[in-house]
């Protein structure tokens, strides 16, 4: 269903998935992309409500999806760790990568280099990996020994935020990585959630992260202040928890 938040009314009721669970939704201008537990990826044009969706497919349970910043590409992640890259101009999959040994839910496009994506693996994998989409080459990785629940980039700071899930409450955190030359350098760890922080979102001005967890908490983090030269504080340890984020 498509809602108008101002009138609080349903403006469109879209079908096409049958009785399967829809696990992910993403917008691209007037187009809505959905992924489901049967491995289906479907594109809907909300300007044409009477037309059925275009089926792209994935082959595995779809648990992750991310749109590129130029809106020409979308990446989907499967429950078995398979990642597929799609060209939305041709509606064809142009690359398939066996990225992880567990679910690839966390996916994010690099905002300053459109040919690079970050992917995160599930609890049995625990890796964050960087890929060059045109060659399929892995250009960086780091092991976290935890489930990667979410990934997002800061263009101004050239940093990557990753949220992590673990059976131990103190390890359900968010880590900021400096990505100089796409090498993982941990900057700080944000600890507040008592259970997996499953979702993260970046504010429109790029300064603040919102995270929502299984612990039914939503946290707001001021991670990327606009005046960074004035607010940045150097820490004696890259993971010191008694310092400000900046």
Domains of the chain, each with CATH number or no CATH = 1-104 (2.130.10.10), 144-239 (no CATH)
Query: What's the confidence (pLDDT) of residue 237?
Result: 42
Predicted pLDDT at 18? 62
Which residue shows structure tokens 């905002």? 111
pLDDT digits (tens, 9 = 90+) for 43-80: 888 887 665 677 777 777 999 999 998 878 999 999 99
User: What is the reported pLDDT for 153?
Assistant: 97
What is the C-alpha radius of gyration for the chain, rounded to an integer number of angstroms? 18
pLDDT of the residue at 15: 66
Mark the ranges of the chain whose per-residue pLDDT is less than 70.
Answer: 15-18, 49-52, 227-246
| pTM score over 0.75 | yes
Phi, psi of 155 (to 5 degrees): -70, -45
Query: How much is the pLDDT for 64?
Result: 95
* C-alpha to C-alpha distance for 223 and 154, rounded to whole angstroms: 9
Q: How much is the pLDDT for 241?
A: 41
**What's residue 138's pLDDT?**
98
User: Which pLDDT score, from 0 to 100, does residue 2 have?
Assistant: 80
**How high is the pLDDT of residue 7?**
85
Phi and psi at residue 41, to the nearest 5°: -120, 120
Residues 6+ apart with CB under 8 A from 20: 36, 37, 38, 40
Longest dimension (CA), the chain: 60
């Amino acid at each position: 269903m498509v809602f108008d938040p101002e009138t609080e009314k349903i403006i469109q009721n879209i079908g096409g998935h049958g009785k399967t669970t829809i696990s992910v939704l993403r917008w691209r201008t007037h187009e809505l992309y959905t992924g489901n537990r049967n491995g289906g990826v479907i594109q809907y044009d909300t300007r044409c409500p009477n037309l059925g969706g275009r089926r792209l497919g994935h082959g595995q349970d779809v648990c992750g999806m991310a749109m590129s910043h130029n809106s020409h590409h979308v990446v989907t992640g499967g429950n078995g760790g398979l990642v597929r890259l799609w060209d939305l101009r041709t509606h064809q999959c142009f690359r398939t990568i066996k990225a992880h040994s567990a679910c690839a839910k966390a996916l994010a496009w690099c905002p300053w280099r459109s040919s690079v994506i970050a992917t995160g693996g599930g609890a049995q994998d625990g890796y964050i990996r960087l890929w060059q989409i045109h060659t399929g080459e892995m250009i960086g990785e780091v092991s976290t020994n935890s489930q990667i629940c979410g990934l997002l980039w800061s263009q101004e700071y050239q940093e990557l935020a990753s949220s992590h899930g673990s059976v131990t409450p103190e390890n359900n955190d968010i880590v900021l990585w400096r990505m100089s030359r796409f090498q993982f350098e941990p900057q700080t760890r944000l600890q507040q959630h008592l259970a997996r922080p499953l979702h993260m979102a970046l504010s429109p001005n790029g300064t603040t992260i919102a995270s929502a967890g299984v612990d039914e908490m939503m946290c707001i983090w001021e991670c990327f202040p606009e005046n960074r030269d004035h607010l940045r504080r150097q820490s004696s340890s890259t993971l010191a928890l008694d310092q400000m984020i900046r």
